[in-house]
Amino acid sequence: MRVAFYPGCVSKGACPELYVAVNAIAEPLGLQLEELTEAPCTGAGVISEQNPELADALNGLTLAMAESKGAHLMTICSTCQGVLSNHNHHLKRDSARLDKVNATIGDQGFRYGGTTEVKHLLWMLFEDIGIDRIKAAIKRKLTGLKIAPFYGCYILRPAEYLGLVERPERKTYLEQLIGLLGAEAVEYSGATKCCGFPMLTFNRDKSLAMAGNHIMEAKDKGADLLVTPCPLCHLNLDGQQPDAARVLKKPIDVPIFHLPQLLGLAFGLSPEELRLDHHVVPTKGALEKVELKV
Amino acid sequence: MTIDHDVLVLGAGLAGMRAALEAAREGADVAIVTKVHPIRSHSSAAQGGINAALGEGDSWESHAFDTIKGSDYLADQDAVEVMCREAPADIVEFEHMGVIFYRNEDGKLGTRAFGGASQARTYFVGDITGQALLVTLYDQILKAGVKVYEEWFATTLYVENGACRGLVALEMITGELHLVRAKAVIDAAGGLGRVFEPSTNALICTGDGYALAYRAGAPLMDMEMVQYHPTTLAGSGFLMSEAARGEGAYLLNSEGERFMKRYAPNKMELAARDVCSRSEVTEIAEGRGIDGNVLLDCRHLGADVILKKLPQIHEMALDYVGLDMIKDPIPVRPGMHYQMGGVKTDATGATRLQGLYAAGEVACVSVHGGNRLGANSLLDTIVFGRRSGKASAAYVKGVAGSRGGENVLHAEQARMQELLARPYTGETHARLRLELATMMDKHCGVYRNEAGLTEALKRLSGLKARYEKIAVGDKSRIFNQALTFALEVGFMLDCADAIVRSALERKESRGAQSRTDYPERNDAEWLKHILITYRTGKEPELSYAPVTITQWKPEARSY
Amino acid sequence: MQFTIEVGRYNPEGNYDERAVAGKPYPPPWDKASPRRYQTYTVDLPAHAVVLDALIAIREYQDESLAVRCACRSAICGSCAMWVNGHAHLACKSKLTTFTKDGKTRVEAPPSMPVIRDLVADMTPFWEKHHAVKPWLEAKQPEPPPMEEYRVPNAAMEELIQEVSCISCGACLMDCESFAVNPDFLGPQALAQAYRYAGDPRDAETKERLGAYSGPGGIWDCTHCYECVTQCPKGVAPLEQILKLRRLAVDAGFTNNAGTRHADAFADSVKHSGRLNELTLLPRSVGFFNILDQLKTLPSAFNMIRAGKLPPLIHKSIPGVQRIKNIFARVGGRFK
């Protein structure tokens, strides 16, 4: 299946392991990733809140690029998904806004017709690729692992922009997938909460307390690791975890996996191929539970 | 604990907070005692709007005439004049305080039509007018720094030497009883809807203010005048604002007919509420209802009007009957909504008990007489709330504070302890309330007659006897609602008794009182108010007061 | 239909009568170390019943000791916000069939607030925040004469009806993630009301308000998680109002704060390269000369470098970046 692949800034920046991992699992999933190399950053909501018109134009450009490829726009980041879904929702319904966008991007040789579907890899697994294909690709069941899902706000809220009203099952895909891969999903309230990243730069301690609290809750419920479809969450949950531990004044030490890394493990790829050795919090303990070594 | 203030307001709805604000402006040391947080008050449920003759071509006389005709000539015309003359300034004052009233193209306040009115003079904020006024007023109370005793439940008024000097209240969070002394008390405790089942009223509308004043010696007036609103939602009985019909909605029977043409050919759906409710009951009784309801049809108004001007009832219909007003007619029926009668006051809010003022639904000035017009109740609260606040602040300047009252506090403490200590008897607040309220709806509803009312009186005496044995199923001090619910049932029994006795007394049909055994209005004998006064150990005393007529002579009433 | 309701019980006195919870009181639910105590009830109600119907049925006919605030039953008075299956909802608006999970519905006071008893939360923090934003009109002068209204377009009033629709139930604050870690955060309800006045053309103190709301605990302490938008039962969408305040504040010149610097740095990076430059975002947000706060971030940066998670030192632009620059030139506004 061809997809217009939108990697997002972070997988090409601070989380290169995500980019590597998603490329590694594309083949077993039958995904042809046609990367939109010229698509801009979504603005992560920051530009949207300050200048909605500018954000409409930037995201309209990306949506137009995907439209011209005639394929779904696939994201691997809850934040990219949320921002693109938000703008796409409005551009599909508000012709005045769409006209404005087309006036702006038209000068750059683009036009958005309002037909692109924006889908996170997580959604595509269930809605386009299919459970059977995933099952067929599994070479190593993750039996014995207790995994806490961590969605990231923007893939869940606001529900109406993300199609969750029509497809409420999207709120359960991570749990379903964890089960499908042979592991056990940990139920805890933090799964749908905010990692704190949006205010990391300007409200550091509160941001870290959020991240730390959620991981600790999962840990208390027995989680060996957290899995997230959002690299921004990953930056806070993994990248800042030692600092979060300092804020909470207790050790945390729970590894955080990107969604494609978890899939890759089940597909039989090695931890190195998935760059599981490039995390701030060592993944060693969790991997040993499924008899893998880094 | 004993606390002293100049003016103490009971209740923090629109009337209470408006009174408190005015008393504070007049320099009085004022405080509010309320059993719920002010924002939870039932004023917030008033949907449609607030009347005033403010627009060009309108006049206070026209507003007054509509009100008096709506009242079936039972309203006191001097009081109605006061209300209608002062309405415009009061509404503009709320606008200046920040209420986001709907505007017309000129950016001036705009109106919608309402039942029983000869002009569109209802000012509004969507269909959340009461809420918009209430929040604005609450914020003014914050700004003015008025002390509010939140979740304090009044158990009795404190009367000393024939004057009201404060009250005793239960602080719910601690379970402690306090004596709050004041030189004047303003009773603004709201309505009594829970005396009837079903009712549009909130669970907190239990007639506390009527019963407290009544037991303290202030007479109640026009208590037989209980308004049934024509459009309450099937099942739950939630209010579907008159604003819907003001915007042009139809009432349909099972044959899809706009039946109001047979009852009120000129005003149709915008006839007065008593007229519409009776028409619906007749339609249903004659077999043209749908499961005991008629239909409120808004479909032709279009999605834009519904979503912009009636968003709340649109949401409620979706939530509670699963119907979308844009696409479906909504099943509605008449439901108990408002008590026109109440504690008898003059136009300054003064009751016949010295030191006690009353305002809002609990009071009876009387501006609503036999039937209140839609959007006149919010107006009543802010006009007479303000007036009672001002009058009480003037009154307290010449009064010394009480130094007594501890005996009343101790008596209340003993009463509560006895109630709490009582073992389980099988009589619970929930059973008694439900029996009382369904009985009232059955025998004292839209249509009444001697046999039903006599039966009601008999049933009431049985319920009162059982109430003496009520047990409280919660022994805790902290937030003991079982205790306050039990006290509320006591209040409700007093209210019901006053309503039934007054209804039995009035041997005619006028406004909301429709006697099948006396179907005509009888001005010769009954153009007068009925007052009821509590007497310890004896049946209450019924008496009469003349209706004040200024310039509008009673005439036949048709819409 | 039979419904099973699990109710979080708490009474600081602990003396429930024999028909209520037996035994001793349990520690306050906000003490995370202690498990909550739940009591299970079964009620028979019509299929369309809401959670509040069940609670009323319980306290009327099964257990009078169950404390719960409610009044209007129809999502107007705002009394009955509580946790239903782990999120803040109005009990009167939550259908039992929707909220039955694994055969039961769990109802409790929100752990984010102190609890008075059972389902009755101490809402003091909520009301204090509401008060703190000065939720009243400071009338613009000259005030029109007593019988005359302010002349404002209806659109300006309709713009505020979303905020005025707030019933102060507190559901947004109960589930606010920033409030959970920062008790000083004004929170969604208060800030939505703040916008209701800051955005009112009749208000005279818009600028002072925006200045005050830009301070600690204000608009920049929101983490943008959309919980409040999701939980609000009246469509107030508090986050959207906070974002409006942010725009107004920046336009009014209140830019000397980390939130604005963060936005500026973000936009700047996208403008110049088409993508985010994580390396400069942090120092620019904190402020280049805020050495102390910069130092605080060093250990994390070091950890990330050691793990090989360092963004490329030479920040590369996306191909075709000129397009992005052109778009910024055209509609970039402040970010041009």
- Domains of chain B with CATH codes: 1-225+340-559 (3.50.50.60), 229-334 (3.90.700.10)
Q: Give me the CATH number covering residue C102.
A: 3.10.20.30
Q: Does C81 share its domain with C9?
A: yes
Q: Which residues have C-beta within 8 Å of that of residue C194, sequence separation ≥ 6?
A: C133, C135, C186, C209, C213, C241, C245
pLDDT at C32 over 50: no
Q: Does C115 share its domain with C167?
A: no
pLDDT at C189 over 70: yes
Alpha helices in B40-170 (DSSP H): 60-70, 77-97, 129-144
Which residues does residue B330 pair with via DSSP β-bridges, in sequence order? B296
Q: Residues 155-184, chain B: which have Cβ within 8 Å of C?
A: 173
Which candidate from C15, C149, C152 shows the least CB-CB separation from B476?
C15
In the block, tokens 């009888």 appear at B522
Q: Which residues of chain B are within 8 Å of residue C56 when distances are taken between CB atoms?
A: 203
Domain that holds residue C160: 124-251
* CB contact at 8 A, B220 and B43: no
User: CB distance A157–C266 less than 8 Å?
Assistant: no
List the structure tokens of C270.
Answer: 């996208």
* CB contact at 8 A, C51 and C43: no
Mean pLDDT by 10 residues, chain A (294 residues): 96 94 97 97 94 97 97 97 98 97 94 98 98 97 96 95 96 98 96 93 90 96 97 96 95 97 97 95 93 73
Average pLDDT over residues B418-432: 91
* CB contact at 8 A, B65 and B41: no
User: CB distance C147–B132 less than 8 Å?
Assistant: no
Query: What percentage of chain B exceeds 70 in pLDDT?
Result: 100
Distance CA B141, CA B20 (A): 8
Q: Does C117 share its domain with C140?
A: no
A167: amino acid identity, one letter = R
Q: Which residues of chain B are within 8 Å of residue C67 when distances are taken between CB atoms?
A: 478-481
Distance CA B509, CA C197 (A): 49
pLDDT band at B208, cuts 50/70/90?
very high
List the structure tokens of C124.
Answer: 């003091």
pLDDT digits (tens, 9 = 90+) for B324-355: 999 999 999 999 999 999 999 999 999 999 99
pLDDT digits (tens, 9 = 90+) for A161-213: 999 999 999 999 999 999 999 999 999 999 999 999 988 887 899 999 999 99
pLDDT computed for residue B217 by the predictor: 98
Q: Does C287 share its domain with C300?
A: yes
Q: What does residue A142 show for φ and ψ, rounded to 5 degrees?
A: -90, 40
Which residue spans within chain C are E strands per DSSP?
A: 2-8, 38-44, 81-84, 87-90, 105-108, 115-117, 120-121
* CB contact at 8 A, C210 and C248: yes
Query: What percentage of chain A exceeds 70 in pLDDT?
Result: 99
Min mean pLDDT across A199-208, B166-175, C52-61, C168-177 is at: A199-208
Query: What percentage of chain B exceeds 90 in pLDDT?
Result: 96
pLDDT computed for residue C20 by the predictor: 36
Which candidate from A41, A203, A240 shows the least CB-CB separation from C275?
A41
- Which residue from A286, B201, A40 is spatially nearest to C325, judged by alpha carbons? A40
Distance CA B168, CA B146 (A): 19
Distance CA B512, CA B490 (A): 25
Which candidate from B40, B103, B315 shows the least CB-CB separation from C71?
B40
Distance CA B22, CA B16 (A): 10
Q: Which residues of chain C are within 8 Å of residue A210 when distances are taken between CB atoms?
A: 177, 180-181, 223
| Continuous segment of H or E residues that includes residue C270 | helix C258-273
| Continuous segment of H or E residues that includes residue A11 | helix A8-11
* CB contact at 8 A, B67 and B83: yes
Distance CA B415, CA B260 (A): 52
DSSP state of B38: G
Q: Which residues of chain A are within 8 Å of residue C330 when distances are taken between CB atoms?
A: 57, 104, 107
Please give the interface size between A and C, counted as residue pairs whose CB atoms are below 8 Å apart: 190
User: CB distance B95–C150 less than 8 Å?
Assistant: yes
pLDDT at C284 over 80: no
> B50: helix, coil or strand?
strand
Which candidate from C12, C56, C136 shows the least CB-CB separation from B98?
C136
pLDDT computed for residue C290 by the predictor: 64
CA atoms within 13 A of residue B465's CA, in its CB half-sphere: 6
Average pLDDT over residues C298-325: 82
Q: Which residues of chain C are within 8 Å of residue A196 when distances are taken between CB atoms?
A: 177, 181, 223
Distance CA C178, CA A199 (A): 10
Q: Residues 246-305, chain B: which have Cβ within 8 Å of C?
A: none
In the block, tokens 């394929």 appear at A71
pLDDT at C220 over 50: yes
Q: Which residues of chain C are within 8 Å of residue B11 when distances are taken between CB atoms?
A: none
- Work out the burial of residue C288: count CB atoms within 10 Å of its CB; fewer than 13 is exposed, 13-18 middle, 19 or more buried: exposed
Task: Considering only residues C281 and B303, tell me which one the structure prediction assigns the higher pLDDT.
Answer: B303
* CB contact at 8 A, C6 and C46: no
pLDDT band at B246, cuts 50/70/90?
very high
Peptide bond into A158 cis (omega under 30): yes
Which candidate from C69, C76, C118 shows the least CB-CB separation from B44?
C76
* CB contact at 8 A, B126 and C161: yes
User: CB distance A14–C250 less than 8 Å?
Assistant: no
User: CB distance A13–C311 less than 8 Å?
Assistant: yes
Total domain count, chain C:
3
pLDDT band at C295, cuts 50/70/90?
low
B144 and C CB contact within 8 Å: no
User: CB distance B89–C144 less than 8 Å?
Assistant: no
Distance CA C38, CA C113 (A): 18
Neighbours of A129 (CB within 10 A): 17
Q: Does C14 share its domain with C114?
A: yes
List the structure tokens of B47.
Answer: 């949907």
Q: Does C273 share its domain with C287?
A: yes
B476 and C CB contact within 8 Å: yes
Q: Does C80 share its domain with C11?
A: yes
Active site residue B63: no
Distance CA A20, CA B200 (A): 63
Neighbours of A28 (CB within 10 A): 19
Pairing status of strand B356-358 against strand A146-149: unpaired
Distance CA B301, CA B299 (A): 5
**Separation in Å, CA B529 to CA A220, B225, B273, B505:** 71, 11, 21, 11
pLDDT computed for residue C23 by the predictor: 33
List the structure tokens of B309.
Answer: 């001007």
pLDDT digits (tens, 9 = 90+) for C8-30: 988 877 544 333 333 333 333 33
- Work out the burial of residue C165: count CB atoms within 10 Å of its CB; fewer than 13 is exposed, 13-18 middle, 19 or more buried: buried
- Which residue from B376, B331, B270, B339 is spatially nearest to B499, judged by alpha carbons? B339
A279: amino acid identity, one letter = H
pLDDT computed for residue B366 by the predictor: 94
Which candidate from A45, A104, A206 shows the least CB-CB separation from C327?
A104
Q: Which residues have C-beta within 8 Å of that of residue B452, sequence separation ≥ 6?
A: B442, B443, B444
Distance CA C138, CA C127 (A): 20
ipTM of the complex: 0.95
* CB contact at 8 A, C128 and C72: no
Q: Does C128 share its domain with C116?
A: no
CB-based touch A/C (3+ pairs, under 8 A)? yes
pLDDT at C112 over 80: yes
pLDDT computed for residue C289 by the predictor: 60
Neighbours of B144 (CB within 10 A): 14
pLDDT digits (tens, 9 = 90+) for B97-121: 999 999 999 999 999 999 999 999 9
Distance CA C73, CA C77 (A): 8
- Which residue from A242, A240, A259, A260 is spatially nearest to A251, judged by alpha carbons? A242
User: Of C98, C121, C144, which marks where a domain is finished?
Assistant: C121
pLDDT digits (tens, 9 = 90+) for A121-144: 999 999 999 999 999 999 999 999
pLDDT digits (tens, 9 = 90+) for C76-108: 999 999 999 999 999 999 999 999 999 999 999
pLDDT computed for residue C291 by the predictor: 64
Q: Does C279 share its domain with C303?
A: yes
Neighbours of B538 (CB within 10 A): 7
Distance CA A155, CA A81 (A): 6
User: CB distance C154–B102 less than 8 Å?
Assistant: yes
What integer best gives the mean pLDDT of chain B? 96
Q: Does C227 share its domain with C246?
A: yes
Q: Which residues of chain B are within 8 Å of residue C204 when distances are taken between CB atoms?
A: none
> Of all residues in chain B, what percent are helix, strand and coil, respectively (each to 5)?
40, 20, 40
List the structure tokens of B416.
Answer: 């509560």
Active site residue B314: no
Per annotation, catalytic residue among B178, B245, B443, B529: B245
Per annotation, catalytic residue among B18, B178, B229, B448: B229
Alpha helices in B477-520 (DSSP H): 481-505
Average pLDDT over residues C213-235: 95
User: Of C96, C121, C146, which marks where a domain is finished?
Assistant: C121
pLDDT at C288 over 80: no
pLDDT computed for residue B65 by the predictor: 98
Alpha helices in B26-76 (DSSP H): 60-70
| Minimal C-alpha gap between C224 and chain B (Å) | 27
Distance CA C236, CA C189 (A): 9
User: Of C121, C137, C172, which marks where a domain is finished?
Assistant: C121
Neighbours of B439 (CB within 10 A): 22
Peptide bond into B366 cis (omega under 30): yes
| Continuous segment of H or E residues that includes residue C209 | helix C206-213
User: CB distance A49–C224 less than 8 Å?
Assistant: yes
Neighbours of C289 (CB within 10 A): 7
Average pLDDT over residues B137-165: 97
Longest Cα–Cα distance in chain C? 77
Q: Does C104 share its domain with C146?
A: no
List the structure tokens of B395.
Answer: 């009154």
> C309: helix, coil or strand?
coil
B264: amino acid identity, one letter = A
> B357: helix, coil or strand?
strand
C124: amino acid identity, one letter = T
Q: Give me the CATH number covering residue C243.
A: 1.10.1060.10
Calculate the dihedral angle through the C-alpha atoms of B162, B163, B165, B168, rounding to the nearest 10 degrees.
50
- Work out the burial of residue C22: count CB atoms within 10 Å of its CB; fewer than 13 is exposed, 13-18 middle, 19 or more buried: exposed
Q: Which residues of chain C are within 8 Å of residue A199 when distances are taken between CB atoms?
A: 178, 220-224
